[in-house]
Structure 1
Amino acid sequence: MSDSDQEHSSQPVLPSGFADWLQHGREDMRKGERTRAELVTAGANFLAREPLERLTVAAICKSAGVAHGTFYLYFPDKNALANEVLGAFVDYVQGRMRAAAHLPGDAARNTTAAYLQLFEDNAGLMKCLVVGVDAFPEARGAFQRLNREWAETVVRATRRREGPDRPQDDLMRRAYALGGMVDQYLSALFITGDPWVRALSEDREAVLEMLTDLWKRGMAP
């Protein structure tokens, strides 16, 4: 094995949760559908360990085990693939958080715990959404959709709990602001590796309780 191969094999790969989700139902797919799924999974694996700007068609084809020309049967360019990968990742995150909201116990704590774990397990993909938004419209659009849909979910839950009297715009502003604070904290912890934030976050249960408390207090009347 060459030094470059050793370096590549030691790099982190996509956690099984999202990879399995992408490949769900693969045995029932037609050949073309399987090839497309392999390309998307290869793109997700790449973005789990490399920034968006390093994404290349050649790297994706090598990882998926397909000819270079095959890529263009499914995607017009690498940005289209990135758009599909990040859109799928947003769907995955939303699905996991909705599932967490229906678990027994405190819904706010359960969804916050799910997001904390998703952010940690998929830091590379979250970096594409949070950090890559300025240069790539694909990342920007996916991140904005994640924020919008989650803010709407939080507001609906608040209205079910408290009734419809509070203004919609006020609740949406609060949800957006709180989501931004959570993303900033988790980005410092899992993406940029701020040493002071890491030192303050060694007790993961304390971090979870703090973030849950922020959501509850911030959405309270």
Structure 2
Amino acid sequence: MTTAPGTSNGQRRRTEATRRALLAAARSVLVEHGYTRATVAQIARAARRAHGTFYLYFDNKEDIYSRLLENMWTGLKEESRDIWRPDVPLKSVRVTVDRYVSAFAENVDLWRLLDEMSATNPRFQEIRDDTRREFTRKIQRGIESSLNQADVGSMRTEIMAELLAGMVDEGCSALFLRGRSWPREDLVDHIVTIWGRAVGYTSPGGVDDDGSDPDDTPA
């Protein structure tokens, strides 16, 4: 929703507050009822807004849940900006993987929604595809920026990035959506180890094989 020109600061704040209230209410309704049983009436009631107010901000239930998913991914991208350091690629891998796994854990309800709905709903499928493509591009850029410290042989970086993105995504899905009982730290450790070996990182830049920095070890 775009605020009309000339709208006062107070009106803009109220508009934004209402939009945030509806988004928060949609998420609480999702947790309680699931996407299929969630209704616009439940969302408006949870937000303490009139039913008609919902349609001033969102087209329908699909629209508001799509916005939640888009906001989640935008937030993750902003948090992950500039975390890759070509001089310490293995440590950068650990930071990247740990941030992705943490974001998955913090947003299990939304990832479950995306996982369930992307199979049948084109808008959710598009969000899913965009999320995967962006993550894959990030991985590829990281590999290519650190090729002087890697050993990829004749392998193509875009294919490697696609496979590594799939490994991270599948690992998170297994742990958080399908009920595996692994400690989260073990998942991160295994992904980082497999990733590092696949790309051929060998402790460059003062980084140990597990991706930790020796300088971070307490005396």
**TM-aligned CA distance change 1:75 to 1:137, over 3 Å:** same
1:207 is matched with 187
Query: Shift of the alpha carbon at 1:81?
Result: 1.1
Cα distance in 1 between the residues matched to 2:14 and 2:144: 46
1:150 is matched with 135
Q: Does 1:114 align with 2:99?
A: yes
**TM-aligned CA distance change 1:28 to 1:58, over 3 Å:** closer
1:90–1:142 contact (8 Å) kept in structure 2: no
1:43 is matched with 26
The one-letter amino acid of 1:145's match is D
TM-score when normalising by structure 2: 0.73
Query: Shift of the alpha carbon at 1:89?
Result: 0.9
**TM-aligned CA distance change 1:171 to 1:98, over 3 Å:** same
Structure 1 unmatched runs, 5+: 1-26
1:17 is matched with none
Query: Shift of the alpha carbon at 1:208?
Result: 1.5
**TM-aligned CA distance change 1:152 to 1:54, over 3 Å:** same
**TM-aligned CA distance change 1:183 to 1:59, over 3 Å:** same
The one-letter amino acid of 2:93's match is A
Matches within 5 A, 1:52-91: 52-91=35-74
Cα distance in 1 between the residues matched to 2:52 and 2:197: 54
- The one-character-per-residue Cα deviations of 1:59-93 (angstroms, maximum 9, x if unpaired) are 21011110001111111211111121111111112
Cα distance in 2 between the residues matched to 1:128 and 1:220: 36
How many residue pairs get aligned? The number is: 186
The DSSP-based 3-state class of the residue aligned with 1:141 is helix
The one-letter amino acid of 2:25's match is A
- The one-character-per-residue Cα deviations of 1:111-167 (angstroms, maximum 9, x if unpaired) are 11111111122111111122321122232222211111111111111111116xx89
The DSSP-based 3-state class of the residue aligned with 2:118 is coil
Structure 2 unmatched runs, 5+: 1-9, 202-219
2:84–2:92 contact (8 Å) kept in structure 1: yes
Percent identity, aligned pairs only? 28
Q: CA RMSD in A?
A: 2.9
2:84–2:142 contact (8 Å) kept in structure 1: no
Larger radius of gyration: 2
2:210 is matched with none
Cα distance in 1 between the residues matched to 2:169 and 2:145: 25
Cα distance in 1 between the residues matched to 2:109 and 2:159: 28
Cα distance in 2 between the residues matched to 1:153 and 1:34: 33
